[in-house]
Structure 1
């Protein structure tokens, strides 16, 4: 059974393919330019779309956008996915894995988000991912739709906003900002390292018994952002510096995913110093 990664030239898709090649998993990559196993524009009217959906395969969709106006986000995160699922149904694909986001939950009340929680996205990106999930849910009610697994992914070390900001300031030699609340605490978030993300998704590739499966994707223990920065300084960005500043209004102190459902399917990584572990994975990913 083939496993095909769409968007393999993006951050998350590229990381998955690098780890798949290292593990000799035999995954097939799709991208828009040379270097991918399948070069495809993303146009479902193009003749080469037959190449992306081998019968009985698993298709992992990492094509998506976090930026742009509502129309652009809808086109990439919603309309494309609807076309993909219909195309995969026609081609006899067994299983489609879709990348969603913790952003579909919104700010919450500090409790860990379970997959059954009501969705209250606050951003255009989160809203587009919630709409994508609605489309997938509707299509899995049809008899010929592949099984669908929706991954509500937390922060992925190396592909998150904190990494991007740290890399920019490290390159300039200037300190970045770390937000703190009046009591001295910092925001706490769910994270997963890139190698662990690959291991989790690899385990989820076989077609599940249920037509629709929704899982939070993160390491079991959430991490404070100051510990993430220390780990990045120690393993990825030497001499990274930061200054404390008051946390802006509206930034929730705790956005954490429950991984209870995931742990019933996958053996998750855990380490007392997981920030160091995932930062080491980022350094390894850069080396790959």
Structure 2
């Protein structure tokens, strides 16, 4: 009898955050058979199979691994200084070298883009719209500089993740049966954004863990943009419109052709009902 193929051992840093909880729930419901996830928590008591570890500690007791998924990071909502995003990226790289990982998936953000009036490809980053986006852009540049100093040692992938259904501000302001306020623009419509459901994000990450020689930034979202009003209706909310202020941005849409060549999310990935159902994964929303 042929031996079973060895699973890809993947260390997940930042497993207790919103996206970490959603991904853990998604992978519990539909576990990738060829990947073993090892969850790392910085402060919270670990769930079964989890590990408590911080970058200040020795990594001697951590297992050898194939891939690191670095979900951890500083955000405006978690109270950490945003410049920590660079140091956390360096910590992930140091850990990868120490534990034999061939690849690191770094959690970046679509916030690295400034709105430019067109669909945003991976080549469009260069000036972020806010301090959070700038911190992620600086993180990406630090990773690229590390690559130049250490050619061929690690496959670094920067996940420029769009709006994760259930984990961003629209869902934070929505309660089924409640009211949500949205900007209305001169064309009569509201804002549209690139979204992804947590289970689909789990599929994307699993496919990128498996992928060979994928490096650099990659946009992560469903193929088509989604109108926020349609999401609100699908969530059972009443939409109240207000005139969009002059500095409001109607459309922030990611070009996902690079991602689609690696991962096929299916025809309904951008469907508002699908996104709302996916948002319920992991107990983060509603």
TM surpasses 0.5: yes
1:100 aligns to 2:103 (yes or no): no
What is the aligned counterpart of 1:40 among 52, 56, 64? 52
> Aligned with 2:173: secondary structure?
helix
Measured after TM superposition, the shift of residue 158 of structure 1 is 0.7
Asked if the contact 2:200–2:269 (Cα under 8 Å) also holds between the matched residues in 1, the reply is no
- The separation in 2 between residues aligned to 1:195 and 1:256, in whole angstroms, is 20
Aligned to 2:3: none
Measured after TM superposition, the shift of residue 271 of structure 1 is 2.4
1:226 aligns to 2:229 (yes or no): yes
What is the aligned counterpart of 1:243 among 237, 240, 243? 240
Aligned to 1:10: 17
Number of residues paired by the alignment?
272
Normalization by structure 1: what TM-score? 0.86
- The separation in 2 between residues aligned to 1:71 and 1:7, in whole angstroms, is 14
Aligned to 1:206: 210
Asked if the contact 2:162–2:220 (Cα under 8 Å) also holds between the matched residues in 1, the reply is yes
1:161 aligns to 2:169 (yes or no): yes
Cα deviations by residue, 1:84-129 (Å, 9 ceiling, x for unpaired): 21221232211110111111011112x1111112421021100000
- The separation in 2 between residues aligned to 1:220 and 1:68, in whole angstroms, is 28
- The separation in 1 between residues aligned to 2:268 and 2:145, in whole angstroms, is 39
**Aligned-CA RMSD value:** 2.4
Is there any run of 5+ residues in structure 1 with no aligned partner, and where? Answer: 234-239
> Aligned with 1:24: secondary structure?
coil
Aligned pair in 2 of structure 1 residues 220, 250: CA closer, same or farther (>3 Å)?
A: same
Aligned pair in 2 of structure 1 residues 195, 89: CA closer, same or farther (>3 Å)?
A: same
- The separation in 1 between residues aligned to 2:76 and 2:266, in whole angstroms, is 31
> Which runs of structure 2 are paired with 1:124-135 in the superposition (5 Å)?
124-135=131-142
> Aligned with 1:119: secondary structure?
coil
- The separation in 1 between residues aligned to 2:79 and 2:239, in whole angstroms, is 34
Asked if the contact 2:192–2:253 (Cα under 8 Å) also holds between the matched residues in 1, the reply is yes
Normalization by structure 2: what TM-score? 0.87
Cα deviations by residue, 1:144-176 (Å, 9 ceiling, x for unpaired): 632111111110101111001114xx6xx7633
- The separation in 2 between residues aligned to 1:138 and 1:253, in whole angstroms, is 34
- The separation in 1 between residues aligned to 2:88 and 2:284, in whole angstroms, is 32
Measured after TM superposition, the shift of residue 273 of structure 1 is 6.7
Aligned pair in 2 of structure 1 residues 100, 130: CA closer, same or farther (>3 Å)?
A: same
Measured after TM superposition, the shift of residue 207 of structure 1 is 5.6
Measured after TM superposition, the shift of residue 209 of structure 1 is 1.8
Measured after TM superposition, the shift of residue 39 of structure 1 is 3.3
Asked if the contact 2:21–2:282 (Cα under 8 Å) also holds between the matched residues in 1, the reply is no
Measured after TM superposition, the shift of residue 252 of structure 1 is 1.3
